[in-house]
A and B are shown apart, each in its own frame.
Chain A
Amino acid sequence: MSEHDTSGVHVASVRLLLLVWVGLMFGTWLTVTASNVDLGSFNIWVGLAIATGKALLVGLFYMHLRWDKPFNAFVFLSAFFFLFLFIGFTLMDTAHYQPVLIPGYSPGMGG
């Protein structure tokens, strides 16, 4: 491709920028439409999958990760790995003590 020059800097073509924009708009329409279909507990996973598809479009093309050094993507994805650990361990912890909590309003937060 002539889009790569010797110093490795990539210039995105207008056509590509507009195509990604169309994809993102379609994704937004799809998310809203999917949220109106009742799939039970499945809804959130469908929504997250579409959102992640949109995130990939933005990351790969608008943020140039597709043409970047892979290490940049690695750094970015590592943040999601640690977020996953953060959420996972906190959920495991709360799942253990939730059943023995006494229901009621949070102290000092009501009224």
Chain B
Amino acid sequence: MSEHDHASVDGLAVDHHFENADQQYQSAKLGMWIFLATEILFFGGLIVAYTVYRANHPEVFVFGHHFLDKNLGALNTVILICSSLTAAWAVRAAQLKQIGMLKLMILLTMLCAFGFLGVKGVEYHSKWKHGLLWAGSYHPHEEHEGSAVRENAEGVGEEAAATSAAVKQMEAAPPTAPAGPDRSAIPPAAEGPAGLAEPVVEPVDEHGFAAEPANAQIYFSIYFLLTGLHGIHVLGGIGAFAWLLMCAYRGFFDSGHFTRVDMVALYWHLVDLIWIYLFLLLYLID
């Protein structure tokens, strides 16, 4: 390491409630890590929804992930990893008072963030075009048997609609129902108001996967909530980096005070971390 690879935390006046600059810096950092822990739990609720639904209804996820472009997902992963590199480099530049490099790295990080949102926009647009949306807005334009059943069920009173859909599916199901690997792991065996429930058989299309399992809309609800919440975090990151850029132009980092850059970078790395998992959980199901 060259000799100038040292940074000091003495760049900023110490607030009166801190012993010294180091304590001030460490306190800011601990606060940031506690915030990041709450962020994990913030996403945690949706991750639980994902885990529980996938554990009980794997066929819905196998069906849904065929509508996601693995290449675009991988491209976005690469973009975010590059932005993590530039964010970490920005911290280094701020520590070493390399203001020009700092501005460049902040700009590159923002560029990557906009690139990520652009790719995400392309993906969202194609879902929108095909009606592959959340919950009640899920109207796939291709006519699948599953959706036809649900449209029939709309004629019935609201309370009976769900039961009636289940009954119709039972009637449509051939008696020799093969229990394929795409089926839910838990056999429905309850005696309900509609009689004894039989396993529902999804019609298989020419590609060999189920044309549409029951409740396919839930995959898209979870997909849009997880990627949407993540996308909002990316937007927040862009705002934070824009603020850093403004600080850099006003000479705030000239004194070697890098805490702000460090904290924003920590946040940005977390956004990258979460995407690493989302890419795996949403795109790479097989």
A contacts, CB < 8 Å to B: 1-3, 5, 7-9, 11-14, 17-18, 20-21, 24-25, 28, 31-32, 35-36, 38, 43, 47-48, 50-51, 54-55, 58-59, 61-64, 68-69, 71-72, 75-76, 78-80, 82-83, 86-87, 90-91, 94-95, 98-111
Contact = CB atoms under 8 A, between A and B. Distances in A.
Interface in B178-206: 186-190, 192-194, 197, 200
Contact of B190 (A14, A20, A99): A99
Main secondary structure of the interface of A (DSSP, over half): helix
Interface string B39-58: 01100110110011001100
Interface in B57-103: 70, 74, 77-78, 81-82, 84-85, 87-89, 91-92, 95-96
Interface centre among A69, A72, A99, A100 (most CB of B within 10 A): A72
Contacts of B92: 11-12, 14, 17
A102 B135 CA distance: 19
A21 B269 CA distance: 12
B34 to A, nearest CB: 6
Nearest to A48: B280
A38 B62 CA distance: 13
Nearest to B164: A104
Contacts of A61: 88
A105 B56 contact: no
B214 interface: yes
Contacts of A104: 162-163, 165-166, 169, 194, 214
A83 B96 contact: no
A8 to B, nearest CB: 7
A76 B270 CA distance: 11
Contacts of A47: 280, 284
A94 B52 contact: yes
Interface residues on B, range: 35 or more
B136 A102 contact: no
Contacts of A100: 189-190
Interface in B7-65: 7-10, 21-22, 25-26, 29-30, 33-34, 36-38, 40-41, 44-45, 47-48, 51-52, 55-56
A103 B286 CA distance: 24
A38 B15 CA distance: 58
Main secondary structure of the interface of B (DSSP, over half): helix
B154 interface: yes
The 3 closest A-B pairs by CB, nearest first: A104-B166, A79-B37, A102-B192
B37 A76 contact: yes
A68 B29 contact: yes
Contacts of A107: 158-159, 161-162
Contacts of A48: 280
A86 B200 CA distance: 31
Contact of B34 (A3, A75, A98): A75
Contact of B1 (A3, A28, A71): A3
A86 B44 contact: yes
B113 to A, nearest CB: 16
B166 A103 contact: yes
Nearest to A38: B286
B3 interface: yes
Contacts of B265: 62-63
